[in-house]
Amino acid sequence: MIPDLASLIEPILTISREAGAKVLEIYREDEVKIRSKSDDSPVTCADIAAHEIIGGGLEELTPEIPVLSEESVDVAFETRSSWETFWLVDPLDGTREFIKRSGEFTVNVALIRQHEPILGVIYAPVHEVIYYAWRFGGAFKVKDADPKPQKIYSRPLDETPVRVAGSRSYAVKALQTFLRRLDNYEYVGVGSALKSCLIAEGAIDVYPRLGPTSEWDTAAAQCILEEAGGQLTDIWMSPLRYNTGPSLLNPPFIAFGDDRRNWSEFIPEQFREKERERLRSAR
């Protein structure tokens, strides 16, 4: 039995802000300690500090609900496959942006139930803005300077150019084909989960991610997008699901605000076939 989702929002906002404040404190230091994980991705002392704050806060808030964080010790699928409900956390999404001092990094906290995100919070400490949503509760944006929540909605795609968000840290050839097929578009480079948040508030139309990500990168964003009227799906327009197998890697995905367009049509056929083959091999 999980608590009422609406009652969880305020304490999760508080936990996220506490973690974000610590991240920001470290961000402003002259030198930040960086090391590489086993997959060669970077991790900083800010990642670890935020992980500890969020993990401790969630354990106190909901001791009966397990927590899976990017910085957790690996949890075997045999264990987590029995979790009907769990917290999925990225303590510092956009570590590369943090290291580059772009300011485009976030703290992401999501609640997953039966493989679907039902609550999501994304805090961008440099921008002093937090986005949040819960199932059937709507999506909201709050600025630190103005505590009054603003309800947000994705925009109908009734005009061009199409506003496309993409990562600053990765370049994928298939993305160039996607953009050419759109024809009339504006491309905006943005780091971390902010890309999906901009879709949720109607500033961006679509974010095709055709490179690797992990489940903690997208869960909170998916909940916020869905409550704002958008979606985050695989390249065949099926919503992403979580904790369904041993791997915590996402398939390639598309985040978008208006589902009246079949965004899958803009994905190169060769890329789609390669993904089908990967899925067949994984079975």
What is the residue-level pLDDT of the chain in tens, covering all 283 positions? 677 999 999 999 999 999 999 999 999 987 777 887 767 688 889 999 999 999 999 999 999 999 999 998 789 999 999 999 999 999 999 998 999 999 999 999 999 999 999 999 999 999 999 999 999 999 999 998 888 999 999 999 988 899 999 976 556 788 989 999 998 999 999 999 999 999 999 999 999 999 889 999 999 999 999 999 999 999 999 999 999 999 999 999 999 999 999 999 999 999 999 999 988 887 6
Give domain status of residue 73, yes or no.
yes
Question: Residue 137's closest CA among 262, 4, 26?
Answer: 4
Give domain status of residue 87, yes or no.
yes
Q: Are strands 129-134 and 138-143 parallel, antiparallel or unpaired?
A: antiparallel
Q: What is the CATH number of the domain that holds 118?
A: 3.30.540.10
Q: What is the pLDDT of residue 230?
A: 97
Same domain (yes/no): 215, 180: yes
Same domain (yes/no): 252, 233: yes
Question: Residue 26's closest CA among 90, 92, 72?
Answer: 92
Give domain status of residue 254, yes or no.
yes
Q: What is the pLDDT of residue 128?
A: 96
Q: What is the pLDDT of residue 65?
A: 97
Same domain (yes/no): 147, 169: no
Same domain (yes/no): 114, 211: no
Same domain (yes/no): 69, 170: no
Give domain status of residue 156, yes or no.
no
Same domain (yes/no): 239, 118: no
Same domain (yes/no): 53, 180: no
Q: Decide which of 151, 174, 206 is a domain's last residue.
A: 151
Q: What is the pLDDT of residue 1?
A: 63
The domain of 236 spans 162-282
Same domain (yes/no): 81, 195: no
Q: What is the CATH number of the domain that holds 194?
A: 3.40.190.80
Give domain status of residue 157, yes or no.
no
Same domain (yes/no): 136, 61: yes
Q: What is the pLDDT of residue 110?
A: 98
Cα–Cα distance list, 53 to 21, 80, 96, 111, 117 (Å): 10, 22, 21, 17, 21
The number of folded domains in the chain is 2
Q: What is the pLDDT of residue 40?
A: 66
Same domain (yes/no): 248, 198: yes
Provide the whole-model pTM.
0.95
The answer to whether 226 touches 156, Cβ cutoff 8 Å, is no
Same domain (yes/no): 124, 166: no
Q: What is the pLDDT of residue 33?
A: 76
